[in-house]
Amino acid sequence: MAYCRKCGIEIDDEAVICPKCGVQQKELNYSKPVNDEGSILWAILGFIIPIVGIILWIVWYNDRPKDAKMAGIGALISIVVGIVLYFLVFAAIFAQMGVFTQFS
């Protein structure tokens, strides 16, 4: 058995509120469970809109680590693919202009 923090009467161990004085005995946890599954949809969203993936990664880093990781991976892949395509397009443009044949 436990005792009330205010009036000192003996109360049940599981009691949340003292039946005599009404003082709360235990902290109540009202937070709802977080759905952190690391869905591939967050990676797809991060790939399609990389800035959203980066923002979600920053915001969710501590609270939803699996979802944050997926959004960040999608954004990172999108940025890498964008850079590679950027260089390929410029290489194709320079090849059409004959820039690479000048040095041969």
CA neighbours within 13 Å on the CB side: how many for 69?
7
- In this structure, the answer to whether residues 61 and 102 fall within a common structural domain is yes
Helix (H) or strand (E) holding 24: none
- In this structure, the answer to whether residues 87 and 68 fall within a common structural domain is yes
- In this structure, the answer to whether residues 66 and 88 fall within a common structural domain is yes
Q: Report whether 44 contacts 78 (CB < 8 A).
A: no
Total count of domains within the chain? 2
Write the pLDDT tens digit of every residue in 86-100: 999 999 988 888 766
Write the pLDDT tens digit of every residue in 26-60: 777 666 777 889 899 999 999 999 999 999 999 99
Q: Report whether 67 contacts 60 (CB < 8 A).
A: yes
- The confidence band for 102, taking pLDDT boundaries of 50, 70 and 90, is low
Domain residue limits at 19? 1-29
Contacts of 91 (CB under 8 A, 6+ apart): none
- In this structure, the answer to whether residues 54 and 103 fall within a common structural domain is yes
